Amino acid sequence: MGYVQALEILPEGLIDEIQKYVDGQVIYIPKIKSKRCKWGEKTDTKTYFKKRNFEIYNSYKNGTTIFELSEKYFLTPKSIQRIIRNM
């Protein structure tokens, strides 16, 4: 996330009003809820985890133990169990 100078985008009167509350501090103004992206929407992360979880599930169905999967994917046994249960 990059920073933008308030003077570049906000009217001077609004800046004067904001300074009454946060003079010289950095603040974060969140996006409008309807404009927010869902998790993994902008990257391939969601696809990556879906594929990985499917591989874990198939490996388990083909006889790989939870401990072996835990070691291979660097996850706790509980995480592996949760992935299998959710598939």
- Burial class for 34, CB neighbours closer than 10 Å (0-12, 13-18, 19+): exposed
Mean pLDDT of the chain: 91
- Burial class for 10, CB neighbours closer than 10 Å (0-12, 13-18, 19+): middle
- Interatomic CA distance for residues 12 and 19, integer angstroms: 11
| The pLDDT of residue 70 | 97
The answer to whether the CB of 40 falls within 8 A of the CB of 30 is no
Is the whole-model pTM more than 0.75? no
Residues 46-56: tens digit of each pLDDT: 899 999 999 99
pLDDT tens by residue, the chain, 87 residues = 678 888 899 999 999 999 999 988 888 888 888 877 887 778 889 899 999 999 999 999 999 999 999 999 999 999 999 999 999
Q: Which residues contact 79 (CB under 8 A, 6 or more apart)?
A: 70
